Structure 1
Amino acid sequence: MAPSRQSQAPPYAKDEKVLCFHGDLMYEAKIIEVAVKSGQKPEDAQYRIHYKGWKASWDDWVSQDRIRKFTEDNKQLASQLQAQARMRTHGPKGGKKGVKANGSELSSARGSEERAAGSSSFGGRGPRRGRDFELENEDIFHARPSIKLIVPDILKAMLVDDWENVTKNYQLVPLPHPHPVSKIIDDYSAYETPKRPAGSSHVDILDETLSGLKEYFNRSLGRILLYRFERVQYAEIHEKWQSNDPEYHGKHASDFYGPEHLMRLLVSLPELIAQTNMDQQSVNRLREELSKFCAWLARNTDTYFVNHYESPPQDYIQKAKD
């Protein structure tokens, strides 16, 4: 299918090297064909993508929202997402542990974001980095169970902004969050439950999904969802949760952290679910429920996401870097 002539060229060109989303990870790719239907806007063009290192059978037609420019920032994000997925699968190399607070390990897959940023190109600067961030074997990828969660572009953009605010601008999400995860889940339940037959299995599935999402969040925040710069903040608030202060005692991560951190879990779920023994029917149900939740959250970003991150004092910055 040959591209039509347009007065304005599409944003991506034939033979351009790009990054392309496949599920919730981005991979290096090349545009091998651009197609624009007669009368179609340039931004609505379709692109035939070839993933670097993969067979031609994986070539795919995708829309603009799947593609990102091959910039240093986007390469860093792609590397960080892949490093995070590997950490969840294989654990930290060498058994490296994170900060401890009251004896509780605060190890974090996101502690590798500095290494990921330093190895922004997939080729890396040396043999080890090249191995760390090269594409996984396509047969292994294909054999793994996958939830293939649909995450709206606006939420992906929020995830990128969050990564930049924390890891590059040294800012923090203010805590306690004005719209914590527990409230977001309750609000969604109040919105979605009336749409389902009372007492039906559809209501039970919704309740089970949301309860599981909250439990996953509480258990995984301190282990895999935090960036290194956020660990000091977490250690401080974790200590308060163990105190007798009635404002903090007995609280959980879902009572203090908000959608910015929840999004990190949602894009991590495909890899997490792949490590479980869930049957395909359960995985399909979970995908449907979480896709609905993501679509609802995308429509309510102005309500739940914070408008401004806070800049911590210099002593916090120094402590977080040590």
Structure 2
Amino acid sequence: MAAPQAAVYKKNEKILALHGPLLYEAKVLKVRNSSDGPQYFVHYNGWKKRWDEWIQSDRMRPYNAENLKFQEELKKKGQKGTKRKRDNEEEESYPAVGMKVNLPGELKKRLIDDWENVNRHNRVMQIPVKPSVKEILEYYKDAQESKEKDLTLAKLTENIVDALKIYFEHSLGTLLLYRVERDGYLQEVKEKGINPIEVYGVYHLLRLFVKLPSLVDNTGLSEEQKTAIGKEISGLCGYIVKHKTHLFRGEYKVTSRKNV
């Protein structure tokens, strides 16, 4: 058996941690080992305790002059409108006007169909779904990185994608499932210790997009930061529409559970 990896950061150490598109000052409260390596329970300075969370070193940076400079670069990128050509969109300048999620009409229709399947016809999506939420987000990130020449903007996309994974994991069981789906989630996912981003697919990702503004409003993010996330969601929606044939491949099955 391989020896456990040594922790990079120590308890009570001041760090910079990625949350959403930006770096924030944080403090390591606890350290533990897991099968995936050391994990750190961090508190973001100035945030409520409910946002304390376990993260790994890939979302952490030492608190030093170099990373403080990078923190400022990310902040500036989020504060100004940027010209980015998105899938299914014309190239245009985006002003910082706060976070908005406007789903394309085609995706709204698919969400309505999804609601009717579950709540009217008692049919639930079979899991695991391919491609999964994790795979969709990775496909999108790779596509953006391949055409983004600005390394800071590419990093911004990567950070937001990582944040969406976290939001999905934290909100699926409480916000993204209809009542008839919850027993299946408990029995087939949570009790087995399966990461939900690896078994749920595009429909549940779209449900997250609808809930995201209210989730983000409960964080300490500025309006500029919310704008950056909203723009990334718009790009992701365009990507989903463009690749709909590949992404909407899940199948529903009739369930005996009742939506009561």
Length-normalised TM-score, structure 1: 0.48
More strand by share: 2
SS for the counterpart of 1:276 is coil
Assess, with a 3 A threshold, how the Cα gap between structure 1 residues 155 and 221 changes in structure 2: closer, same or farther.
Answer: same
Relative contact order, higher structure (CA 8 A, sep 6+): 2
Task: Work out which of the residue numbers 205, 211, 220 in structure 1 matches 2:162.
Answer: 211
Deviation at 1:190, TM superposition (A): 1.6
Q: What is residue 243 of structure 2 aligned with on the other side?
A: 300
Assess, with a 3 A threshold, how the Cα gap between structure 1 residues 283 and 239 changes in structure 2: closer, same or farther.
Answer: closer
The amino acid of 1:291's aligned partner reads S
SS for the counterpart of 1:179 is coil
SS for the counterpart of 2:124 is coil
Q: What is residue 201 of structure 1 aligned with on the other side?
A: 152
Q: What is residue 270 of structure 1 aligned with on the other side?
A: 213
CA distance in 1 between counterparts of 2:208 and 2:259 reads 24
SS for the counterpart of 1:178 is coil
SS for the counterpart of 1:172 is strand
Deviation at 1:307, TM superposition (A): 5.7
2:102–2:234: 8 Å Cα contact kept in structure 1?
yes
Q: How many residues in Structure 1 have an aligned counterpart in Structure 2?
A: 164
Structure 1: 5+ residue stretches without partners: 1-144, 243-250
Assess, with a 3 A threshold, how the Cα gap between structure 1 residues 212 and 307 changes in structure 2: closer, same or farther.
Answer: closer
2:103–2:237: 8 Å Cα contact kept in structure 1?
yes
SS for the counterpart of 2:159 is helix
Q: What is residue 285 of structure 1 aligned with on the other side?
A: 228
Q: What is residue 167 of structure 1 aligned with on the other side?
A: 119
The amino acid of 1:187's aligned partner reads Y
Q: What do the CA deviations read for 1:181-231 (whole angstroms, capped 9, x no partner)?
A: 001011111211111126x21111001000000110011100111000101
Task: Work out which of the residue numbers 111, 133, 137 in structure 2 matches 1:185.
Answer: 137
CA distance in 1 between counterparts of 2:141 and 2:259 reads 40
Deviation at 1:240, TM superposition (A): 4.8
From the CA coordinates, give the structure whose radius of gyration is larger: 1
Length-normalised TM-score, structure 2: 0.59
Deviation at 1:150, TM superposition (A): 2.3
Equivalent residue runs for 1:148-167 within 5 Å: 148-167=100-119
Would you identify which runs of 4 or more consecutive aligned residues in structure 1 move more than 4 Å? none
**Are positions 1:222 and 2:173 aligned together?**
yes
Assess, with a 3 A threshold, how the Cα gap between structure 1 residues 234 and 191 changes in structure 2: closer, same or farther.
Answer: same
Q: CA RMSD in A?
A: 1.8
Structure 2: 5+ residue stretches without partners: 1-96
Q: What do the CA deviations read for 1:102-124 (whole angstroms, capped 9, x no partner)?
A: xxxxxxxxxxxxxxxxxxxxxxx
The amino acid of 2:181's aligned partner reads E
% same residue: 28
CA distance in 2 between counterparts of 1:272 and 1:189 reads 22
Equivalent residue runs for 1:15-30 within 5 Å: none
1:177–1:258: 8 Å Cα contact kept in structure 2?
yes
Deviation at 1:306, TM superposition (A): 2.9
Deviation at 1:238, TM superposition (A): 2.6
